[in-house]
Structure 1
Amino acid sequence: MVQLLFALLSIELTVILILSFANPIRKLMVKVLDLLKRGRGPLIIKTIATTVFIVFGSTIYTILKIHKRSMDAGMVNPTEEVLMAHHLLEASLMGKLLLNISLFFFQYLHL
């Protein structure tokens, strides 16, 4: 899951860099975004964003459960500490992905 989130963020970074500088690839990217505005693009993006949001909520819930369990026990279990770090990484990547999706599509697609 983490590798997928890193791949999506690197693709978003590439699109942002392409749109930032005037070059021939930018014109192609604008045409692709224009085609995405029509058709099923917005519906697909909304579906993906909803799915990521639900998984994000589940990850936050798991983080809170692990934190509460460690606070009740009074000591930190090393296994739970590793799981907590993994879930925090996933949650931060999903949060960044959701932020980028919302900013990008509210700006370019006017959803």
Structure 2
Amino acid sequence: MKHSSITTSAAPLAMFDIWKAGLMAFELWSSSLTTIAMRQQMWQTQPFFSPSMMRENQRMVSEKMEASAEAGLVMQKTLINAMSGQYAPWWVTSQKAMKPYHRRSSANSRRLSR
């Protein structure tokens, strides 16, 4: 019989971390939808060549590229660590990979809602 990688003493802590990963994913999803809706409203109500829209579009693209680069680095570190025998549970890796997107999406949602 195979043994679980989570010992019984660490199981409640692991379940809490899994809960946090799910909560972070839900927050990312909801703040992303809010941000998309607010930007879409801006695109419908303002001319695309206005300076404020140009800044917002440039900010959107640069933030996505920065978040992608950060998440990619997290995944590379995870892969290198796994190749050297240091495994991280998926819920830890997923939180680290979502963090750049979550941070920016939450900030954009707050900023655009003002």
Q: TM-score, normalised by structure 1?
A: 0.47
TM-score by length of 2: 0.46
Relative to total residues, which structure has the larger helix share, 1 or 2?
1
